[in-house]
Amino acid sequence: MGKRALITGITGQDGAYLAKLLLDKGYEVYGTYRRLSTPNFWRLEYLNIFDKVNLIPIDLSDHGSIVEALKISEPDEVYHLAAQSFVEASFETPVATGDITGLSTTRILEAIRQVCPEAKFYNAATSEMFGKTGLLNGGKPLNENDVFRPMSPYAAAKLYSYWISRIYREGYKIFAVNGILFNHESPLRGLEFVTRKIANEVAKIKLGLSKELRLGNLDAKRDWGYAPEYVESMWLMLQQEEPDDYVIATGEAHSVKEFVEKAFEIAGLNWEDYLRVDKRFMRPLDVPCLVGDFSKAEHMLGWRPRVKFDKLVEIMVKEEINRWSRWLRGEKFPWDAPNYPSENKIFTRALRM
């Protein structure tokens, strides 16, 4: 029989790509989602896996709902991806971010300890935890031994989540790993993140649907990789004999401004004609530079990035131009027609009564 996996946050960018990867490997995939006033399954539809995954409604602030999700799915592997993941929003809602992005990891680990202690656990940690270290070390690629100096409520919550995963690993012998992933992007990225915001707006300008691109800090540098490759590393981490923590990155840093220039170049436009700096997109604190050293992952997992910066920008801009061109021709997209999964794909506690 194939393995069973539970993915928290299956409706997000990584959740959707990981679900596809695991289905392709023959897993029975369960995913949690939260009830919203408008259904949000467009990424699963986009990848043509909407009717192949089993869905369980939970809220991360509700411990009982997490326990039920584990009892329903009986997982061999748990991938904990759900979080309030937008750094900027964490300055607006620091307490809620602490609860959902930080404390929820303990709720899940506690539930695993009680319900399925043999299950392997992946925690979505982040390069944001390094924070100021990326500047203080002069831009040297960061590895698993570098000091964490978080610069946002989001990063502080993730650092808590990182440590609690290590504590359950050492204290309760749960197979818990931390994937310290640097920024990874794709056409399935949320629209508020800078890469997709740029790609989307450049495509609209190209097609006459928008006139300008408004951004905040153009000088920030990030190590941007390609999300479908990064979810492979999550799976690889859980196939090891021993649990450990790994940096996943490309090893290259580029500024937001470089991303803008490349995106407009691909669209055949001059960026200076359209870019406006807007204070509303500045943060109270912003990590100036993050670049990662993936040599441990390469050595231990056999993982290395294939899509680098220029190719990534090209994939994203071309896909947005393609989407908006089709939209102009009257085509419908998954996000135009919100949908519910077929009923036999939703699992609730009532099914166990």
The residue among 9 and 243 lying less far from ligand NAP, judged by its C-beta, is 9
- Residue 87, contacted partner among ligand G4F, ligand NAP, none, CB below 5-8 A by kind: ligand G4F
| Structure tokens belonging to residue 186 | 């794709």
- CB 80, min distance to ligand G4F, A: 14
Are the C-beta atoms of residues 193 and 202 closer than 8 Å to each other?
Answer: no
Cα–Cα separations (whole angstroms), residue 169 to 101, 107, 322: 19, 15, 45
Q: Which of 62, 92, 192, 331 binds ligand G4F (CB under 6 A)?
A: 192
Note whether 183 binds ligand NAP by CB under 6 A: yes
CA 318/CA 222 separation, integer angstroms: 21
Are the C-beta atoms of residues 84 and 93 closer than 8 Å to each other?
Answer: yes
Binding mask 251-290 vs ligand G4F (x if CB under 6 A, - otherwise)?
A: -----x------------------------x-x--x---x
| Structure tokens belonging to residue 208 | 């006459």
Q: Which of 52, 132, 149, 197 binds ligand G4F (CB under 6 A)?
A: 197
154 assigned to active site: yes
Are the C-beta atoms of residues 12 and 43 closer than 8 Å to each other?
Answer: yes
Beta strands (DSSP E) in the chain are 4-8, 28-33, 54-57, 77-80, 120-126, 176-181, 184-185, 213-215, 221-222, 225-226, 245-248, 254-255, 275-277
- Residue 216, contacted partner among ligand G4F, ligand NAP, none, CB below 5-8 A by kind: ligand G4F
Are the C-beta atoms of residues 213 and 201 closer than 8 Å to each other?
Answer: yes
- CB 134, min distance to ligand G4F, A: 10
Q: Tell me the catalytic residues.
A: 126, 128, 154
The binding site for ligand G4F (CB under 6 A) comprises: 85, 87-88, 126-128, 182-183, 192-194, 197, 215-217, 220, 222, 256, 281, 283, 286, 290
The binding site for ligand NAP (CB under 6 A) comprises: 9, 11-15, 34, 36, 40, 59-60, 81-85, 100, 124, 126, 181, 183-184, 190
